Chain A
């Protein structure tokens, strides 16, 4: 109705019209593309979910809790275990469902221990040591266990919670991923046995 009062001195309008300088345009587009790229990569990462069966597993080193050892050493390197089936179990002492499977895991470990073809490794996820030790002794766990220092291993496996168990075949590739607890010993054996036979 009266836009008139918004142009008090119109003579400035006469100034030559200038667009956006090219170099600023370049910066703007680069920033925009950079932002989109960051989001794209992160989205890809978050959409990945857990590791896929068949993915090669990177080497990691796990130092054990005191009292545990593997072949006389207080730590384990995945790369040293080529040719063996490796079962990586993520757990925590505060995790109720982990307790369901703890005894089963231990007894399955006992059946394979002497064979030497299978290695069980327990990775303790964001846990405190005294409670973790209590948990281990409660369930009489004998296979080597250690804390996931810096949550590096669990971040690599992109675990979504505990318990989760990963089965790595002789070639070092992921053969099976179990999300959540096992129901029985036979369930675990049914996954390991075909892997040994390969």
Chain B
């Protein structure tokens, strides 16, 4: 009895898989799905134009290739990887984070941090100079050059 139960379970599982197989197979990916991947790539034929909007025949073929790969169940990263090996890394909108390319991502933050440091030091040194000079130096008093505040003061005096 117990054995039959197992067989029955196995058979029903198999039939479930068999019937469900049709759902696992993806329908032809829509243009939108294709474009979602294509917009992250550039094609060497039309330089600096994203692949999803490039009107040339070459790019249309590339988009069809993306469609094929999507229907084979590839995901966006796999497809990008495939295109990068096939046509060179310049198809990627951003250089891959490896080797020399790390410089792209590291140098700007590094320089910005240096900028922040310089600014911070400038502020601090000015602060110390101020304290040496005997506390707050208020050249004209707070906001004397403000036309509005002058008018406001004027108002106060009148009231």
A: residues with CB less than 8 A from B are 5, 8-9, 12, 92-95, 126-131, 147, 149-152, 155
Contacts and interface: CB of A to CB of B under 8 A. Distances in A.
A131 B61 contact: yes
Interface-centre pick from B58, B68, B140 (highest chain A CB count, 10 A): B58
Contacts, number: 44
Given A8-B140, A126-B43, A151-B44, A94 B57 contact: yes
A47 B137 CA distance: 59
Q: What DSSP secondary structure best describes chain B's contact surface?
A: helix
B30 interface: no
B28 interface: no
Interface string B57-97: 11011101100100000000000000001111010000000
Interface of B: 43-45, 56-58, 60-62, 64-65, 68, 85-88, 90, 129, 137, 139-140, 145
B74 to A, nearest CB: 15
Contact of A126 (B58, B64, B129): B58
B62 A128 contact: yes
B61 A127 contact: yes
Given A9-B137, A126-B44, A126-B45, A92 B58 contact: yes
Task: Report, nearest first, the 4 A-B pairs whose CB atoms are least far apart.
Answer: A8-B139, A94-B57, A94-B58, A128-B65
